[in-house]
Amino acid sequence: MSMPALLRRCRSRRLQRGAAAIEAALILPVAIFMVFACLEVYQYFRAAALLDRIAFTVANGVAMQRELLNGGQCDKSDDICVYGTMAQDLFQPLDYSARGGMIISTYAATEPDENGDVAWKAQPEWRVTFKGSTSSLPDPISRLGDTTVFPPARTGDTLVIAETFYDHEPFAISSHFWTALAGTTNMYSRFFFRPRFNDLRTLL
């Protein structure tokens, strides 16, 4: 092979290596960001599904009680504080201690008006708030201000509602984009159940 041809081949290889390096420099950061973005979306939707499941489980469990106590005996299945104790396990693998919260409420229907119509009272019969033991966040605030979103009320009706809260922390690499794209960090879910055996209007 002649010298000019050898020089041309060497120059071509150097150009190819340079082009590959430029392509890697452009593509690698995007690829890394996409991996983190996929993980972020997965973690968010996993947390949302867990909040739904927890709200369902707690509301259903309370609705099956024949009576509820408020004596602070958190090892008793019929004491309301047992649900605060259970929350630590129900929230797994989420960090309930530092970032979780839960509210359980019971609402009652009004007496029929002159037209026989029944609605939900604006204020709950009782409400209990729980949050993680090491949380520095404010106590969760109920989002049940509008009772028109409740199921239709019937005479003598009561409704158990469990609300779950979680402060989602995005990855540092994607946190700016998460908020810029209207992603929320204050996650919330709720479930409604009518009591099965008793109206549960009061905590004993």
Q: Which ranges constitute the DSSP H helices of 75-174?
A: 82-90, 96-99
> Does the residue 5 lie in any domain?
no
Backbone angles phi, psi at 102, to 5 degrees: -155, 145
Residue at 88 is within a domain? yes
Residue 79, pLDDT above cutoff 70? yes
pLDDT digits (tens, 9 = 90+) for 21-55: 666 667 777 777 777 777 877 888 889 999 999 99
Q: By C-alpha distance, which of 128, 133, 42, 127 is closest to 91?
A: 133
Q: Which range has the worst mean pLDDT, 10-24, 48-62, 65-79, 83-97?
A: 10-24
Place of tokens 């019969």: 125
Q: Which of 52, 77, 53 is nearest to 67 (CA)?
A: 77
Q: Indicate whether 27 belongs to any domain.
A: no
Q: Whole-angstrom Cα distance, residue 62 to residue 72?
A: 16
* Structural domain count of the chain: 1
Least confident of 6-15, 143-152, 189-198: 6-15
Identity at 107, one-letter amino acid code? Y
Whether residue 178 lies inside any domain: the answer is yes
Residue 19 lies in a domain: no
The domain in which residue 85 lies consists of: 43-193
Confidence band, pLDDT 50/70/90 cuts, at residue 171: low
- Is 86 a member of any domain? yes
**Residue 195 in this model has a pLDDT that exceeds 70:** yes
What is the identity of the amino acid at 1?
A: M
Q: What does pTM read for this prediction?
A: 0.80
Rounded CA separation 189/126 (Å): 19
Nearest Cα neighbor of 164 from 94, 104, 106 is 104
- Dist. CA 163–CA 142, nearest whole Å: 7
Q: Is the dihedral of CA 56, 70, 203, 66 positive or negative?
A: positive
104 within domain boundaries: yes
Give the integer Cα–Cα distance in Å for 187 and 167.
6
